[in-house]
Structures are given as structure tokens and as C-alpha cells.
């Protein structure tokens, strides 16, 4: 026994605690232990968790007694070394714990703990207007505390039975439920039928035919059907249910044949993932000359730089270039990750890729169930004798970054300017575009960023030589970009030519399009009906009691509602402040537009696409396919209608109110308005004729509107860059935002100013704040924010370390123990 080695493992626990935890490996597990496997470990007084092994070593911790791991869950590692390195990078860069990264990275079926616990769904969009009171309480609690146990849920809601509440929250994608330890992910199995050994022999089969023909015609029919379909499908087993249906036979007949030992029944694991064969012969894409030239430039650029920006106008054929690039990677046996904003992951793009790559394409996004995620995860793992599809191309939303890739050759980030690539809550608050660049580096892979309206940051990187840069500035087939016109609302109001919210110019084009049986998209940057209620006498507006915002009117429930916490009230009959009965609706949203349109165009088929109409799983796809099939004439929508869709019959796009996005107080609002307006314009006139875009505004002379009219992307950038430099914003500076939260405003003020002092000691003038943000109270928590601006070329890593230490010091001040500080690196 003399010099036996003792092994220890460092594990990550699925908890937002900093650091790794060391455990001892019992001798009998030494051969089985491996980095990337999950192990069962005791934690705290009597808790058990599934931790993930991140390293194995022989260094006994000096300061405490190490507990033993109590079991190994996985036969094979579920996470590879590159992923662990990626998580570590992410936790350093975005200043969160590795445990938090792991929580976002692993499908929740992989995360186990001793009691059922619930956590916030990383894909929850924060829209709590669909939740009831108890559901909001839980969502709220989960913002403050990363996970809750059943007992806590009971305490918070006062409910004894909480399962239906938890089920509903889960269905609404607000929470994830963590499974129990040892209840592993269970593959789905299906019953199959095949011939027994005896009857796989032709002779025996013949004899059987004769017997059955005389005595059991129905059984014979079933047997014949089996032979027919199994030959047709080139398989030796059929699914029991399929066979009975195809043979139009009963279970009793099948049973009889099983008894006679003609058939045997067995269970086979099937994949939940559908398989898609390449539907027909792949048509070769014939690139146009400009497209071919752009492809060549991308190749040249990849020879020198790892990241390349493709600035290609809408409908220029960026997708065709992506397909060519993917093809090359596949030939070389490499994996490809194709990232899109969640909402752009439509059947359109998926079908387009499947047409070329068949079942090599896997899809991964938040509408997928946890079991589906686990299967996709497994379908990428390099696994010898695996059933089901083996994906080489993953099309996914931001969380697809975390899949267990082994040899990525290329990452495509389409619509790279989209802000939804950034995860807002909870930590890690990562930007998938930026993180993808690190991921690609790990694999020595290339990154292609694509957009018709690149982010200023990426454009800056591309034009200053950090990234390669390729432009594709003409539409495919030399289609013209749409003609953009402005409807001057001030002028039209003066002349009384407005029809409610529609200018005469827009009305004229809608009428024309309808007459020509062409389609129309109307974009309104807000949801709800009339945005708010206001007293005509004293200008009082009903506000939320928990948050610092005015309430929004929702017609279908006839209530005023808070979009931040879900608080709602009935419409007051008179002004609560001055008693006057003349309360008036102010502003307008998609629901109201839809209503009014039906009055002006009673014969048009009108539909609305916004968060309210697309809650159910298929609603979004259904709306899009109805629109594609021309079952809808006018589609009214929010941001959702701007996302990369390719319709061929849209002749008019109307932007109903450009002003509210342009004047939004944010340093990016100019850039964002340009992107939104250009993207929605891009939906006009795609295939056979030049489209028309009408922008309604009270101020036609905004420079950004001029830039949209002229399709002047570079004009937009060159007008913005000097401001960014002068006011110290990206791309010249990196931002870190800190949000300090507490329910007592006085304590918050005191804590924030103390933190301010501590921060200034190190960062001096780079610190702005504390300030009340635009919305200074949410769910009864008061907020104050700091903005730290770091010079682009300074030692950002070093400064983050100092910041980390400062925040640690602050959190140890007893008075401020309950004050939370949320860190957002590179806020959007």
C-alpha cells in the first residue's frame, strides 16, 4: 500500500458560485474517472449535486477536509476539453462564474441535483406580461436568486401544491426544471417487428406461406405486407405501429405470428429528431459574376485573417455564398456552425439548407424541448455506433455555441448586427457573435460575419484591418433596391390629409398594391393597442405600482398592463388624480393599426405579427407560410417582420412611425434605426419588380432617414464614428455596465455612492455614475447604474481583474450584503 497515489478532481457545480470544488476520488473509481464526466457529489449539509469534472490531480487541498465523490454518472465524457476552455474564457471575459456558464451551456436534462429545483430559463425573453400573479412572483424571485427549491416556491406563493404552477412556468419557457440525480436522460424507444432467425430462411418461409394460405389468410396478408414494406425500405425491421397500419391488420394477428415464432418483437431506441433525406438531386448553385467574385474575395481574406465581414445588401445572395462555403467544409470533413438570431430561424432558411445538405443539418434553438436538445447534443458527439442522424452542420440560435464541437471549420454569423445575439439575463451575459470568434480560434476555424447593415463595431474592425472585408452591393439578378419615400406627417396633419395614422401617400400605395394583388408589410415599432392612457386635463398617466413605467393598454383584456412585471389594472373611469372623466388613449400600436386597417380596407385580408400573436409554438411559422401562400394581403408587425425573410410578392413596405426609434435615448439609436428601417425595407420588391418603401415621420430631415432613402450605409457609419469617439463609446471604447439593486432606495443610494468611490479609486474618470437608469424601479427593486468606459487598446483583462476585486471587496461590507450588483460586459 506504500506509495499509492490519491486522486482529486476539481468539479463545477450547477450553481452560480465562483470557483471550482475539489473532491477525492475513491480508489474503485480511479479507472473510470475522466474530465468531462459528471459525478455525484455531496455539497453543504445534505445536498447532492451532479458536478462536472474539469480536472484530475494529486494536490490535496491544505485547508479543509475533502469529501469523496459518491458516484460517476457518465460512461463517456459529455463535454470535451475545448468546451471547458471555452467556458473558462467566457467566465473571465463576461465576469461571471464557470458554474453560471455551465448552467447556460448544458441542456437542463444534464443538470441534476438532489431535490427538484427550478431555475430561470436562459432563453426567457423577460416578457412577464403573459404571467399570472404567482408566476410573476416566482419569475421575480428567480431574478434575485438563481434557483428555487419546491419548499421555497411554496413559501413565496403560499401555495401547498406547486406542481401545476411549475409546469405552467415551464411551458411558458420561464423556468427550467432540474431533474433528480440518477434520473438520467432517457432515450425514447419504439417497438419494432422482425422475422425470427428461422424465417429469415427462404425455404422455411415458403413452407410457412403454404400453411398460412390454408389456415390463416389474415396472418398471411400481414406477413406479405411485412415482406413488401421491409424490402421496399431496405430494412429488416419495421415499427410495430407502422406495420399494423400499412398492412391494415390487427394486433391479434401479429400476436398470433409472434406466438408461432414467425415474428419477434423488440425495442429499439429511436431518435426524436426527424431525419431529412436530401429531397431531390441537389441543384448546383450557379453564382453570378459578382457573387463569384465575392466568394473569391472571401477565400483570399480567409487566407490571411480568421474573421471576415461580408457586407451584402438584402437579396444579394449572401445565403448562396454561405452554402458554397459550407459545401467546401463538408468535403473536408469539418463541422460548420451557422448562427442566426432566434427569430430568423424560420422554416425558410432551414428548408433551404436541407435542400443542399439533407440530414447533415441539425437545428438547435429555444423552442426545442430539452430532450430534443440532448439528442442534438449527442448527435454531434463523436460516437462509434450511434443511431440516428450525425450532424455536421448546426443551424442555431446563440446557445448553439455550447454544443460539443470537435472540429469546426467555419462559423457563419448571419445578421451579425442583431442585438439578440447578446444574452441579457441571466449571466453569462454573453454576445454570441463575439464569443464565436473565440470559439473559432480554438478550432482554428474561420468566421464569416454577414449582414446587409453591419454593426458599426464590425464595420470598424473590418475597415481598420482587424477583420477581412468583402462587399456585395448589388442584388441578385440586378434587381433594384426599393425606392424609399417619406411621408411628412406634420405637413399631412396640417393639410388634414391623414386617415387616422395613415398618410395619404401610404394610403395611395396600399390601394394600388391591393388592386394589383400585391402584398404589403406595415412596420410599427411597438406592441399593444393604444400605448397609454392620459388625462386630458392634468396629463396624469396611470403608472405601475412596482415599476417606474406607465401602463400599456391591452384591448383584448381591456386592461392597463405593465410590460416589466405584469401588474395590471382595470381602466379607471375618471382620472385618479383630478377626477376628470376625460381620459384619452395616446400613441398607437400594432393592434390598433390592425383594427383601423380593417375599417379602411374592409376587403383586405389583414394579419398581425408581434409577441402577442406569436406566443404559441407554431404561430410564427403559420403566419409566415400564410403570407408566403398569399393568404394575407397586409401584414402588420413589430421587429419580427424585419428579420431576413424572403417573400416574392411584397411591393409596399410602410414604416408607420420612424420618430420613436430615432429619438430613443441611447447612443446606438441612430445606428439601430438605420438597421431596422433598412432591413424592413429589404422585404420590398424582391423578385420581379422594384418595391416601394414609405417612411412616415414628423421630421423628414433627420439625417438617418436621408441615409435610408439613399441606401447609404457608409454615410450612416461615417456620420456616427466621430460622435462615438468624442463621447467615448464603442468601437473606440469598451463598456462595462454595473447595475446596483435594492428594494430600499435610501440604502441603494448610499451603497451606490460608496461603490462609486471605490471604483473611482481605480478607474478614475472612466467611471460614470451612479445614475438612475431610464426605468429606475423594476419589480420593486430600485436600480442605479454605472458605466465604465475602457480605452479600446488598454489592458482590458487587467482592468477586469481589478474590477472583480473591487466588487468582491464591496460585497464584503456587511451593511451592503443584500445589495446586488449585476455586471454586463459589452452591454447592447
Cell numbers 394581403: residue: 633
Q: Please identify, using beta-carbon distances, which residue of 203 and 281 lies nearer to ligand ADP.
A: 281
| Among Zn ion, ligand ADP, none, residue 320 binds (CB under 5-8 Å by kind) | ligand ADP
| Among Zn ion, ligand ADP, none, residue 713 binds (CB under 5-8 Å by kind) | none
| Among Zn ion, ligand ADP, none, residue 420 binds (CB under 5-8 Å by kind) | none
| Among Zn ion, ligand ADP, none, residue 453 binds (CB under 5-8 Å by kind) | none
Q: Please, are residues 320 and 287 in contact by the beta-carbon 8 Å criterion?
A: yes
Smallest distance from ligand ADP to CB 119, Å:
37
Q: Please identify, using beta-carbon distances, which residue of 479 and 520 lies nearer to ligand ADP.
A: 479
C-alpha grid cell, residue 762: 481605480
d(CA 595, CA 606): 9
Q: Please identify, using beta-carbon distances, which residue of 349 and 401 lies nearer to ligand ADP.
A: 349
Q: Please identify, using beta-carbon distances, which residue of 13 and 323 lies nearer to ligand ADP.
A: 323
Chain residues that interact with Zn ion, rule: CB under 5 A: 544, 546-547, 562, 564-565, 567
Q: Please identify, using beta-carbon distances, which residue of 291 and 392 lies nearer to ligand ADP.
A: 291
| Among ligand ADP, Zn ion, none, residue 37 binds (CB under 5-8 Å by kind) | none
Query: What percent of the residues of the chain are helix, what percent strand, and what percent coil, each to the nearest 5?
Result: 40, 20, 40
| Among Zn ion, ligand ADP, none, residue 641 binds (CB under 5-8 Å by kind) | none
| Among Zn ion, ligand ADP, none, residue 546 binds (CB under 5-8 Å by kind) | Zn ion
d(CA 276, CA 511): 42
Tell me whether the omega of the peptide bond preceding residue 770 falls within 30 degrees of 0, making it cis: yes
In Å, how far are 59, 157, 274, 565 from 818, measured between CA atoms?
A: 36, 22, 48, 21
Q: What is the DSSP letter of 50?
A: E
Smallest distance from ligand ADP to CB 661, Å:
22
| Among ligand ADP, Zn ion, none, residue 286 binds (CB under 5-8 Å by kind) | ligand ADP
Smallest distance from Zn ion to CB 739, Å:
17
Q: Please identify, using beta-carbon distances, which residue of 140 and 546 lies nearer to Zn ion.
A: 546
| Among ligand ADP, Zn ion, none, residue 564 binds (CB under 5-8 Å by kind) | Zn ion
Rg of the chain taking only CA atoms, in angstroms: 30
| Among Zn ion, ligand ADP, none, residue 565 binds (CB under 5-8 Å by kind) | Zn ion
3-state secondary structure of 5: coil
Smallest distance from ligand ADP to CB 287, Å:
5
Smallest distance from Zn ion to CB 543, Å:
9
- Closest by CA to 30, choosing from 50, 6, 62, is 6
Smallest distance from Zn ion to CB 561, Å:
9
Q: Please identify, using beta-carbon distances, which residue of 641 and 778 lies nearer to ligand ADP.
A: 641
Q: Please identify, using beta-carbon distances, which residue of 318 and 417 lies nearer to ligand ADP.
A: 318
Smallest distance from ligand ADP to CB 351, Å:
12
Sort 518 into a burial class: Cβ within 10 Å, 0-12 / 13-18 / 19+. Answer: buried
| Among Zn ion, ligand ADP, none, residue 544 binds (CB under 5-8 Å by kind) | Zn ion
Smallest distance from ligand ADP to CB 356, Å:
12
Q: Please identify, using beta-carbon distances, which residue of 462 and 544 lies nearer to Zn ion.
A: 544
Say what the alpha-carbon torsion angle 165, 171, 175, 178 is, to the nearest 10 degrees.
90
β-pair partners for 194:
237, 264
- How do 519-523 and 634-637 pair as beta strands? parallel
Q: Please identify, using beta-carbon distances, which residue of 523 and 786 lies nearer to ligand ADP.
A: 523
Smallest distance from ligand ADP to CB 283, Å:
9
| Among ligand ADP, Zn ion, none, residue 562 binds (CB under 5-8 Å by kind) | Zn ion
d(CA 259, CA 796): 73
| Among Zn ion, ligand ADP, none, residue 567 binds (CB under 5-8 Å by kind) | Zn ion
Please state the three-class secondary structure of 602-669 as a single string. Answer: CCCCEEEECHHHCCCCCHHHHHHHHHHCCCCCEEEECHHHHCCCCCCCEEEEEECCCHHHHCCCCCCH
Chain residues that interact with ligand ADP, rule: CB under 6 A: 285-288, 291, 312, 314-320, 476, 646
Smallest distance from ligand ADP to CB 395, Å:
14
Smallest distance from Zn ion to CB 668, Å:
25
Letter string b/e over residues 230-259, b meaning 16 or more CB atoms within 10 A of that residue's CB:
beeeeeebbbbeebbebbebeeebbebbee
Per DSSP, the residues of 139-189 read: HHHHHHSSEEEHHHHHHHH--S--HHHHHHHHHTTSEEEEEETT-PPPPPE
- Closest by CA to 754, choosing from 813, 823, 825, 818, is 813
Smallest distance from ligand ADP to CB 619, Å:
24
| Among ligand ADP, Zn ion, none, residue 739 binds (CB under 5-8 Å by kind) | none
Letter string b/e over residues 648-672, b meaning 16 or more CB atoms within 10 A of that residue's CB:
ebbbbbbbbbbbebbeeeeebebbb
Q: Please identify, using beta-carbon distances, which residue of 312 and 589 lies nearer to ligand ADP.
A: 312
| Among ligand ADP, Zn ion, none, residue 519 binds (CB under 5-8 Å by kind) | none
d(CA 813, CA 304): 51
Smallest distance from ligand ADP to CB 320, Å:
4
C-alpha grid cell, residue 546: 412596482
Smallest distance from ligand ADP to CB 331, Å:
20
Smallest distance from ligand ADP to CB 67, Å:
55
- Closest by CA to 209, choosing from 319, 507, 199, 244, is 199
Smallest distance from ligand ADP to CB 180, Å:
45
Q: Please identify, using beta-carbon distances, which residue of 546 and 614 lies nearer to Zn ion.
A: 546
d(CA 303, CA 297): 10
Sign of CA dihedral 363, 368, 372, 378: positive
C-alpha grid cell, residue 175: 423556468
Q: Please identify, using beta-carbon distances, which residue of 479 and 544 lies nearer to ligand ADP.
A: 479
Sign of CA dihedral 436, 437, 440, 442: negative
Q: Please identify, using beta-carbon distances, which residue of 72 and 569 lies nearer to Zn ion.
A: 569
Polymer length of the chain: 828
| Among Zn ion, ligand ADP, none, residue 469 binds (CB under 5-8 Å by kind) | none
Q: Please identify, using beta-carbon distances, which residue of 314 and 420 lies nearer to ligand ADP.
A: 314
Q: Please identify, using beta-carbon distances, which residue of 152 and 646 lies nearer to ligand ADP.
A: 646
Amino acid at each position: 500500500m506504500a506509495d499509492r497515489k490519491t486522486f482529486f478532481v476539481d468539479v463545477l457545480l450547477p450553481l452560480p458560485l465562483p470557483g471550482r470544488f475539489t473532491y477525492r476520488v475513491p480508489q474503485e473509481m480511479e479507472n473510470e474517472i475522466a474530465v468531462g464526466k459528471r459525478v455525484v457529489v455531496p455539497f453543504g449539509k445534505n445536498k447532492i449535486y451532479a458536478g462536472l469534472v474539469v480536472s484530475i490531480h494529486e494536490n490535496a487541498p491544505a485547508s479543509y477536509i475533502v469529501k469523496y465523490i459518491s458516484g460517476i454518472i457518465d460512461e463517456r465524457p459529455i463535454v470535451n476539453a475545448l468546451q471547458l476552455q471555452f467556458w473558462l474564457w467566457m467566465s473571465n471575459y463576461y465576469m461571471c462564474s464557470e458554474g453560471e456558464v455551465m448552467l447556460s451551456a448544458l441542456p437542463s436534462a444534464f443538470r441534476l441535483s438532489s431535490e427538484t429545483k427550478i431555475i430561470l430559463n436562459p432563453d426567457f425573453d423577460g416578457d412577464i406580461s403573459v404571467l399570472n400573479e404567482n408566476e410573476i412572483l416566482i419569475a421575480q424571485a428567480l431574478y434575485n436568486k438563481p434557483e428555487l427549491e419546491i419548499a421555497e416556491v411554496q413559501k413565496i406563493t403560499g401555495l401547498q401544491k406547486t406542481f401545476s404552477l411549475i409546469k405552467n412556468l415551464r411551458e411558458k419557457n420561464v423556468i427550467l426544471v432540474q431533474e433528480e440525480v440518477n434520473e438520467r436522460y432517457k432515450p425514447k424507444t419504439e417497438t419494432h417487428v422482425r422475422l425470427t432467425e428461422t424465417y429469415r430462411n427462404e425455404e422455411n418461409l415458403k413452407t410457412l406461406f403454404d400453411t398460412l394460405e390454408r389456415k390463416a389468410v389474415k396472418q398471411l396478408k400481414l406477413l406479405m405486407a411485412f415482406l413488401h414494406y421491409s424490402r421496399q425500405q431496405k430494412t429488416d425491421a419495421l415499427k410495430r405501429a407502422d406495420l399494423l397500419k400499412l398492412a391494415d391488420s390487427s394486433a391479434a394477428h401479429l400476436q398470433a405470428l409472434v406466438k408461432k415464432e414467425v415474428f419477434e418483437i423488440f425495442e429499439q431506441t429511436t431518435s426524436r429528431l426527424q431525419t431529412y433525406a436530401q429531397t431531390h438531386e441537389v441543384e448546383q448553385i450557379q453564382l453570378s459574376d459578382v457573387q463569384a467574385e465575392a466568394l473569391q474575395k472571401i477565400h483570399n481574406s480567409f487566407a490571411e485573417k480568421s474573421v471576415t465581414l461580408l457586407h451584402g445588401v438584402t437579396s444579394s445572395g449572401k445565403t448562396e455564398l454561405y452554402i458554397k462555403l459550407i459545401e467546401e467544409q463538408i468535403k473536408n470533413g469539418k463541422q460548420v456552425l451557422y448562427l442566426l438570431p432566434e427569430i430568423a430561424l424560420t422554416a425558410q432558411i432551414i428548408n433551404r439548407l436541407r435542400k443542399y445538405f439533407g440530414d447533415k443539418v441539425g437545428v438547435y434553438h429555444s423552442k426545442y424541448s430539452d430532450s430534443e436538445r440532448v439528442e442534438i447534443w449527442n448527435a454531434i458527439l463523436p460516437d462509434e455506433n450511434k443511431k440516428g442522424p450525425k450532424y455536421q452542420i448546426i443551424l442555431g440560435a446563440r446557445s448553439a455555441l455550447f454544443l460539443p464541437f470537435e472540429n469546426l471549420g467555419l462559423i457563419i454569423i448571419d445578421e451579425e448586427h442583431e442585438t439578440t445575439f447578446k444574452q441579457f439575463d441571466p449571466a453569462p451575459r454573453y454576445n454570441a457573435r463575439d464569443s464565436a470568434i473565440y470559439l473559432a480560434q480554438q478550432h482554428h476555424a474561420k468566421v464569416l460575419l454577414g449582414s446587409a447593415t453591419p454593426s458599426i463595431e464590425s464595420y470598424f474592425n473590418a475597415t481598420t484591418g482587424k477583420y477581412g472585408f468583402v462587399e456585395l452591393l448589388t442584388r441578385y439578378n440586378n434587381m433594384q433596391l426599393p425606392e424609399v419615400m417619406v411621408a411628412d406627417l406634420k405637413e399631412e396633419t396640417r393639410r388634414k390629409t391623414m386617415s387616422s395614422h395613415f398618410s395619404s401617400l401610404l394610403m395611395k400605395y396600399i390601394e394600388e398594391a391591393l388592386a394589383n394583388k400585391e402584398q404589403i408589410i406595415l412596420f410599427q415599432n411597438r406592441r399593444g393597442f393604444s400605448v397609454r392612457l392620459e388625462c386630458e386635463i392634468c396629463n396624469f398617466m396611470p403608472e405601475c405600482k412596482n415599476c417606474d413605467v406607465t401602463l400599456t393598454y391591452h384591448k383584448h383584456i381591456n386592461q392597463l398592463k405593465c410590460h416589466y412585471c405584469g401588474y395590471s389594472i382595470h381602466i379607471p373611469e375618471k382620472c385618479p388624480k383630478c377626477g376628470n372623466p376625460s381620459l384619452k388613449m395616446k400613441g398607437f400600436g400594432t393592434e390598433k393599426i390592425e383594427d383601423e386597417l380593417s375599417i379602411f380596407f374592409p376587403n383586405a385580408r389583414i394579419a398581425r405579427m408581434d409577441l402577442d400573436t406569436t406566443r404559441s409554438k407554431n404561430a410564427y411559422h403559420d403566419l409566415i407560410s400564410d403570407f408566403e401562400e398569399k393568404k394575407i394581403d397586409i401584414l402588420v408587425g413589430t421587429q419580427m417582420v424585419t428579420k431576413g425573410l424572403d417573400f416574392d410578392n411584397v411591393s409596399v413596405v410602410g414604416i408607420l412611425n420612424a420618430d420613436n426609434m430615432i429619438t430613443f435615448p441611447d447612443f446606438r439609436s441612430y445606428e439601430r434605426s438605420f438597421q431596422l428601417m433598412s432591413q424592413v425595407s429589404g422585404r420590398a420588391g424582391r423578385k420581379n419588380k422594384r418595391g416601394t418603401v414609405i417612411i412616415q415621420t414628423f421630421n423628414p430631415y433627420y439625417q438617418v432617414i436621408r441615409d435610408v432613402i439613399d441606401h447609404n450605409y457608409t454615410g450612416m457609419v461615417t456620420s456616427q464614428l466621430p460622435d462615438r469617439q468624442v463621447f467615448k463609446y464603442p468601437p473606440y471604447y469598451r463598456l462595462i455596465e454595473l447595475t446596483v439593486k435594492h428594494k430600499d432606495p435610501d440604502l441603494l443610494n448610499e451603497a451606490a455612492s460608496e461603490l462609486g468611490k471605490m471604483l473611482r479609486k481605480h478607474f478614475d474618470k472612466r467611471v460614470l455614475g451612479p445614475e438612475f437608469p431610464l426605468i429606475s424601479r423594476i419589480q420593486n427593486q430600485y436600480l442605479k447604474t454605472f458605466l465604465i468606459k475602457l480605452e479600446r487598446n488598454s489592458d482590458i483583462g487587467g482592468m477586469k481583474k481589478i474590477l472583480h476585486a473591487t466588487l468582491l471587496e464591496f460585497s464584503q461590507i456587511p451593511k451592503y450584503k443584500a445589495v446586488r450588483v449585476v455586471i454586463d460586459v459589452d452591454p447592447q
